[in-house]
Amino acid sequence: MGAPPAVAASAMSAPAAACRVLSLIPPMTQLNTPYPSTAYLTGFLRSRGVAAAQDDLALKLVLDLFSAAGLAALRDQIRALPAKQRPDLLTAFDAQFERYAATAGPVLAFLQGRDPTLAHRIASRAFLPEGPRFASLDVYYDPDGGDPLAWAFGALGVQDKARHLATLYLNDLADVLREAADPRFEFVRYAESLAMAQPTFAPLAAALAAPPTLVDASLQRLTRAAIERHAPQLVLLSVPFPGSVYAAFRIAQTIKADNPAIVTVLGGGFVNTELRELSDPRVFDYFDFVTLDDGERPLLALLEHLDGQRGRSRLVRTYVRDGDAGSGAVRYINLAEPDIPFAEVGTPTWDGLPLDRYLSILDMLNPMHRLWSDGRWNKLTVAHGCYWKKCSFCDVSLDYIGRYDGIAATTLVDRIEAVVAETGQTGFHFVDEAAPPKALKAMADELARRNRAISWWGNIRFEKSFTPELCRQLADSGCIAISGGLEVASDRLLKLMKKGVSVDQVARVTKGFSDAGILVHAYLMYGFPTQTVQDTVDALEYVRQLFDAGCIQSGFFHRFVCTVHSPVGQNPDEYGVKLKPLPPVSFAKNDVGFIDPTGVDHDSLGVALNKALYNYMHGIGLEQDVRRWFDVKVPRPRVPRNFIERALAAH
């Protein structure tokens, strides 16, 4: 049934040559594919002659926790609890421990693609112990006593059915781990409340000072193994999300406790958005430097500084603490130097990452929605930043959005071919804020000229440049899916958002993609300033019609959050709202509350929106009045029930 995870973990820890720079992916990011920041930085540093390596501690942590040894440690922790303090979930796990211990390794090997024939046993529903997560299958109950999942997988979809069941099994184990060992544990949003929009470092400091949990102890052991294997002089920790901050600090804490001489650097998306007013010196008990925005130029300056080629005052976009320790003041240093052009950042490399150990999980039975967690995708960027950069809810004032920098199609396809040659895999996820139509067309032309076959998907704007002809060309180039922001499906609010699209335009563009055989995901939003209950009901009716007309196949409703870097946060009067005062900030600053004169309870409406959307993605309830999803009385939609049909026919 393939090597068990404990063996795989030891195989991944074979000695390696000492490196100058080690980039680490901290828990938790994603399980199906490496987060791309370390691949970009490692590729760039190597292109500049720096000995650089990378490792994924997020993946290794999950494989360690859910190995036979990890589950045994979890059982021991459960048995140490008084019987009266064990909820039914833990009691059931303990009672079925031998089955979990026997199946965990094979399940992980199956999800890694190393033991596909196990699918038949998993799909039989007789192999895996089934905990509370399997109750979600009741929504697909077959009154005739048949297979409740037959509608999704049919008679031959054994692999996908087994992967969905194996995912439920992993979620059950995560629930047990959370209940018994670490209530903060999540596969993605791990301990995010300790970091997200926290004005002070105090909650994080308290958590880091607490005795290590079972999860912490595992992460400490894996950190020490990575440091021993790579012997770095400098360690980069890239934290893209609040849910990877706590673990990044735990990793740095372990490094500093064992070898204070190793230089630690914090960067990534979370830092770039939330730590722009950092002043708490305690952060520098863990990290020697904190860098903002793209890491290439700050890292070059830092390496020169460490080599004695420049003084500390000549660093770029970097926070430091004056003095060796204690309460030394935090200083931000930014020598004005140009960023590295996107054409010169080099080709990302996945060398050193265990590409055969990532887990393809299937938690949503929607064919488009699954792409985020199923399959190992090579992640690339078509261009730096956003060519539109006008949306009023977006962080358009920050570098990762506001500085648009494209590259020639030949350069992009050169990178594609280099990545395919290195990984042996031809699937790509373009992680742009919004991939430019002209650049995608040029890429399609270049792929055709080279007769290069790939599969790809990415994020776009639903703009009129995506004609049916271009959609078909992109499909021919390998495009299998696209995602884009419809946000609030209201022409009034889309105009206020400066989105640059209308509802009927979105319908035409998405239908063009769907007709070309490309799956479409819509990012949706509720709770935007001045949005009324009527606006919300109308928006859901538009969304229902888009699903019904086959324009979109997937979607997700996000609750609008005002950020200090967005046009709404910077000019609230233009959007009819007042910002709530923020407390003094010494750590994270991003989300800001606001007072909307409409007084709508958007949180209660959001429950109905997400319930409706979940059903629409499974083809359920599309013919019904949208008001049925709400628990409170709401007005009748003002949108004609054939609005989208008429818009498509008129076009």
pLDDT for 4 beyond 50: no
Of 602, 585, 455, residue with least CA distance to 526: 602
Share of the chain above pLDDT 70, in %: 94
Both structure tokens of 326: 């204690």
The residue count for the chain = 651
What's residue 605's pLDDT?
Answer: 95
Look up residue 251 and give its amino acid.
Answer: I
Q: Are 483 and 331 in contact (CB under 8 A)?
A: no
Q: How far apart are CA 246 and CA 28, in angstroms?
A: 9
| Coarse DSSP helix, strand, coil percentages of the chain, rounded to the nearest 5 percent | 45, 10, 40
pLDDT for 157 beyond 90: no
Q: How far apart are CA 249 and CA 265, in angstroms?
A: 11
If one compares 556 and 313, the residue with the highest pLDDT of the two is: 556
What's residue 19's pLDDT?
Answer: 77
Instruction: Give the tens place of pLDDT for each residue, 322-350.
Output: 976 666 899 999 998 999 999 999 999 99
Report the pLDDT averaged over residues 557-567.
Answer: 95
Strand partners, 460: 484
Parts of the chain belonging to CATH 3.80.30: 369-650
Report the pLDDT averaged over residues 591-616.
Answer: 94
**Tokens 């270049």 map to which residue?**
446
Q: Are 85 and 77 in contact (CB under 8 A)?
A: no
If one compares 169 and 188, the residue with the highest pLDDT of the two is: 169
Cα 591 to its chain centre, rounded Å, is 18
Ranking 307-316, 428-437, 486-495, 577-586 by mean pLDDT, the lowest is 307-316
Report the pLDDT averaged over residues 172-191.
Answer: 95
- The backbone torsions φ and ψ at residue 567, rounded to the nearest 5 degrees and listed phi first, read -55, -35
Q: Any alpha helices (H) in 424-516, and if so which ranges? A: 437-450, 468-477, 491-497, 503-515
**Tokens 């079972």 map to which residue?**
214
Q: Are 148 and 35 in contact (CB under 8 A)?
A: no
SS3 state at 468:
helix
Report the pLDDT averaged over residues 609-621.
Answer: 93
pLDDT for 463 beyond 80: yes
Q: Are 40 and 77 in contact (CB under 8 A)?
A: no
From residue 23, how far is each of 315, 431, 458, 469, 576 by CA, in Å? 20, 20, 25, 42, 44
Report the pLDDT averaged over residues 180-190.
Answer: 93
pLDDT for 196 beyond 50: yes
Please classify residue 37 by burial: count the beta carbons closer than 10 Å to its beta carbon, then call 0-12 exposed, 13-18 middle and 19+ buried: buried
What's residue 137's pLDDT?
Answer: 83
Q: How far apart are CA 251 and CA 260, in angstroms?
A: 13
Report the pLDDT averaged over residues 432-441.
Answer: 96
Parts of the chain belonging to CATH 3.40.50.280: 5-58+192-344
CATH class of 5-58+192-344: alpha beta
- pLDDT band for 139, please (50, 70, 90 cuts): low
Both structure tokens of 553: 């196949």
What is the third-level CATH fold of 369-650? pyruvate-formate lyase- activating enzyme (3.80.30)
Report the pLDDT averaged over residues 17-36.
Answer: 91
- pLDDT band for 369, please (50, 70, 90 cuts): confident
Of 371, 334, 365, 548, residue with least CA distance to 459: 371
pLDDT for 12 beyond 70: no
pLDDT for 202 beyond 70: yes
Beta strands in 335-416 (DSSP E): 378-380
From residue 171, how far is each of 68, 131, 361 by CA, in Å? 16, 9, 10
Look up residue 246 and give its amino acid.
Answer: Y
Report the pLDDT averaged over residues 566-595.
Answer: 95
Long-range contacts formed by 252-255: CB under 8 A, 24+ apart = 252/286, 252/287, 253/208, 253/286, 254/219, 254/220, 254/223, 254/224, 255/223, 255/227
What's the pTM value of the predicted model, to 2 decimals?
0.92
- pLDDT band for 365, please (50, 70, 90 cuts): confident
Beta strands in 507-617 (DSSP E): 519-526, 554-559, 578-579, 594-595
Of 438, 431, 439, residue with least CA distance to 458: 431
Instruction: Give the tens place of pLDDT for each residue, 67-121.
Output: 999 999 999 999 999 988 899 999 999 999 999 999 999 999 999 999 999 999 9
Q: How far apart are CA 239 and CA 253, in angstroms?
A: 15
